[in-house]
Homo-oligomer: A and B are copies of this chain.
Amino acid sequence: MFDLKISDQPLNPQDCLDFVNHESTGASTVFIGRVRNQSKGKKVLRLEFEAYEKMALKEMEKIAEKAKEKWPIAKLAFHHRTGITLLGDIAVIIALSTPHRKEGFRACEYCIDALKETVPIWKKEIFENGEEWVSATP
């Protein structure tokens, strides 16, 4: 039903698509978050992701369960990267299959929004002269 993963290795969208492909569902919706080259106007050299892995997987499962309560999700893949990532690397993939498209968009957006609220994963931006834990301070 759910494929939840936290990994310090590159994430693979095709793995997620293969997992969610399901014969009774016509719509697959996918969100992929990548490392951007700037943040608040400053050039980002790399990002470092740290996770409280055990708890992060639990929280990801809670999000998936809640999404499944709200929408008719057949399968859901939720992968998050940890470690050092460079420009263009994939930080997160959320893929899910639903009978119809509208519920797929809603469910996928719900999951990524919820991830950013509750899943214990932290992102440090490394700039040319300094570094910063994202969202830590006002």
Q: Which residues of A does B touch, CB under 8 Å?
A: 13-14, 17, 21, 23-38, 87-88, 99, 101-102, 104-105, 108-109, 112
Contact = CB atoms under 8 A, between A and B. Distances in A.
A28 B22 CA distance: 22
Given A21-B88, A102-B109, A105-B108, A29 B30 contact: yes
Given A14-B14, A105-B108, A112-B101, A87 B30 contact: no
Determine how many copies of this chain the complex contains.
Answer: 2
A87 B23 contact: yes
Contact of A34 (B28, B31, B33, B87): B28
B13 A38 contact: no
A37 B22 CA distance: 10
B37 A33 contact: no
A30 B30 contact: yes
Quick one: which of A24, A26, A112 has the most chain B CB within 10 A?
A: A26
Contacts of A88: 21, 23
A35 B97 CA distance: 13
Given A13-B13, A109-B102, A109-B105, A28 B31 contact: yes
